[in-house]
């Protein structure tokens, strides 16, 4: 047997799946009984319009087959939805049974007219929500429609559902890399996800990062929190020959999420202290280029990797309010573009594998108090 054959055989043994059709009515019962977890926190990420939701309902009413739904069976038997979250939440919202992350019922979905069913415009599920609603006959037909469920059994390797979610939501997805990571993190370690989101809203952190609305919508603040946590203490050998920074961040995030000894309180204090110092020293110019006699341009990731991570690495040596330290940070910032290592290794299009092994140790040394 070839090495490839052995690898395939081994991995197939780690994945146990089943598949069968189920009526929408049965799926509704699973949800209302608490046997189906659809992660309402994901709604911050999946941004379907009312038109998109109405088109899904139209497809079901017309008997158009939907793509398969993927669920993973937990140890307690509850099904964890891996793919199909937005479709299921739309169905539950239409029926008026969808609950948000606080466990409160959300307002029911009111449909808009569609290409084939313009008569859906303004319709609700039943008269509990509005006078304009679909008939009992249509309700029964809707609940009897079948969907295809793929089930990852609890005997499978515990990483299978995360791998599946990442693959299904990466290729051809409209989500940013960090939006996919956020969803993975919610499944892996919800308290850690909430903690990272809280850090991303830190006033000093946001003050030194005047990002665009698009970057904010795509969760770039959270990505920069992850970059800080993942890279400030990383061994340089680990990032040499790094093929893809996104894959590294995802892998490092999983490690942190599953590390029971990870000290969030300690890391939170270090993070907040680092950005208090940065805000006091440089304010909104912290990660902009100093050219001539002024700061110009937008946020620079390479400058973030030098200055934020350099301070983060040395944070225990910093004394807040020490003017000498603040002046040193300013000097590093203003002279960075004249540093040949920085300009040579961080030019346009420089890959992380080429850039980080050089500028991370440089920042750590330059920003040592």
**φ and ψ at residue 105, rounded to 5 degrees:** -65, 135
Q: 192 and 56, same structural domain?
A: no
Element (H, E) at 144: helix 136-144
Whose CA is closest to 14, among 189, 232, 161?
161
291 shares a domain with 246: yes
Measured distance between the N- and C-terminal CA atoms of the chain, rounded to whole angstroms: 58
Asked whether residue 108 falls in the same domain as residue 228, the answer is no
Tell whether 226 and 85 lie within a shared domain. no
DSSP element (H, E) containing 309:
helix 301-313
**Which residues, in sequence order, are CB contacts of 64 under 8 Å at separation 6+?**
none
Residue 184 lies in a domain: yes
Q: Let me know whether 313 and 188 are in one domain.
A: yes
Residue 271 burial (C-beta neighbours within 10 Å; 0-12, 13-18, 19+)? buried
Residue 346 placed within a domain: yes
Instruction: Decide if 257 is inside a domain.
Output: yes
Q: What is the pLDDT of residues 239-265, one digit of tens each?
A: 887 778 888 998 899 999 989 999 999
Instruction: Check residue 105 and give left, alpha or beta (phi > 0: left; psi -120 to 50: alpha).
Output: beta
Cβ–Cβ under 8 Å, residues 333 and 285: yes
What pLDDT, on a 0 to 100 scale, did the predictor assign at position 135? Answer: 93
**Structure-token pair, residue 140:** 């029964």
* Within a domain: 29: yes
Of the candidates 129, 157, 185, which is a domain's last residue? 157
Say yes or no: 7 and 118 in one domain: yes
pLDDT of res. 171: 47
pLDDT of residue 159: 60
Structural element, H or E, at residue 37:
strand 36-37
Instruction: Point out the residues of the chain with pLDDT beneath 50.
Output: 156, 171-173
Predicted TM-score (pTM) of this structure = 0.70
Joined together, the tokens standing for residue 159 give 């990483």
Q: Are 178 and 220 in contact (CB under 8 A)?
A: yes
**Per-residue exposure over 333-350, b if at least 16 CB sit within 10 Å of its own CB, e if not:** beebeebeebeebbeeee
Q: Are residues 211 and 250 in the same domain?
A: yes
> Looking at the 3D structure of the chain, how many domains does it have?
2
Q: Which domain holds residue 123?
A: 3-157
Note the pLDDT of residue 166: 62
Residue 164 forms part of a structural domain: no
280 and 194 together in one domain:
yes
Q: Is residue 217 part of a domain?
A: yes
Compute the chain's Rg from CA coordinates. Answer: 25
DSSP sequence for 253-303: HHHHHH-TT--HHHHHHHHHHHHHHHHHHTGGGTTSEEETTEEESS--HHH
Domain assignment present for 163: no
Same domain? For 148 and 7 the reply is yes
Question: Rounded distance, CA 299 to CA 211, Å?
Answer: 7
Helix axes 24-32, 85-95, angle to 10 degrees: 80
Q: List Cα–Cα distances, 348 to 169, 172, 300, 301, 342, in angstroms.
A: 29, 26, 11, 11, 12
Q: 133 and 192: one domain?
A: no
15, 151: one domain: yes
Two structure tokens written together for 341: 């290592």
Q: Quote the tokens at residue 247.
A: 């894959």
Residues 207, 348, single domain; the answer is yes
Is 109 a member of any domain? yes
Total number of residues shown for the chain? 369
Residues 191, 268: Cα–Cα separation, whole Å = 13
pLDDT score, position 204: 97
């Amino acid at each position: 047997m070839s090495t490839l054959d052995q690898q395939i055989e081994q991995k197939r043994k780690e994945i146990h799946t089943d598949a069968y059709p189920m009526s929408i009515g049965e799926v509704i019962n699973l949800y209302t009984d608490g046997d189906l977890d659809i992660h309402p926190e994901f709604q911050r990420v999946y941004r379907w319009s009312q038109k998109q939701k109405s088109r899904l309902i139209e497809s079901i009413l017309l008997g158009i087959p939907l793509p398969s739904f993927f669920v993973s069976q937990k140890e307690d038997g509850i099904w964890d939805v891996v793919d199909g979250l937005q479709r299921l939440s739309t169905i539950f919202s239409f029926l008026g049974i969808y609950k948000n992350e606080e466990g409160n019922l959300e307002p029911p979905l009111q449909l808009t007219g569609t290409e084939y069913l313009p008569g859906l415009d303004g319709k609700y599920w039943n008269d509990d929500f509005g006078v304009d609603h679909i008939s009992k006959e249509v309700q029964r037909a809707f609940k009897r429609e079948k969907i295809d469920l793929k089930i990852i059994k609890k005997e499978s390797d515990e990483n299978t559902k995360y791998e599946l979610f990442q693959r299904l939501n990466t290729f051809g997805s409209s989500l940013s890399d960090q939006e996919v990571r956020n969803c993975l993190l919610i499944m892996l370690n919800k308290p850690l996800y909430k903690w990272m989101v809280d850090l991303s809203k830190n006033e000093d952190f946001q003050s030194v990062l005047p990002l665009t609305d698009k970057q904010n919508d795509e969760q770039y603040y959270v990505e920069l929190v992850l970059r800080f946590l993942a890279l400030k203490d990383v061994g340089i050998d680990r990032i040499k020959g790094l093929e893809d920074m996104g894959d590294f961040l995802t892998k490092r995030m999983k490690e942190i999420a599953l590390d029971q000894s990870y000290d969030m309180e300690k890391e939170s204090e270090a993070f907040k202290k680092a950005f208090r110092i940065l805000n006091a020293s440089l304010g909104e110019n912290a990660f902009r280029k100093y050219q001539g006699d002024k700061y110009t341009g937008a946020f620079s990731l390479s400058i973030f990797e030098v200055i934020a991570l350099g301070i983060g690495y040395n944070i225990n040596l910093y004394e807040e309010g020490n003017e000498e330290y603040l002046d040193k940070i300013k000097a590093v910032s203003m002279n960075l573009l004249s540093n040949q290592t920085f300009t040579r290794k961080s030019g346009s299009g420089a890959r992380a594998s080429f850039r980080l092994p050089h500028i991370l140790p440089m920042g750590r040394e330059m920003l040592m108090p």
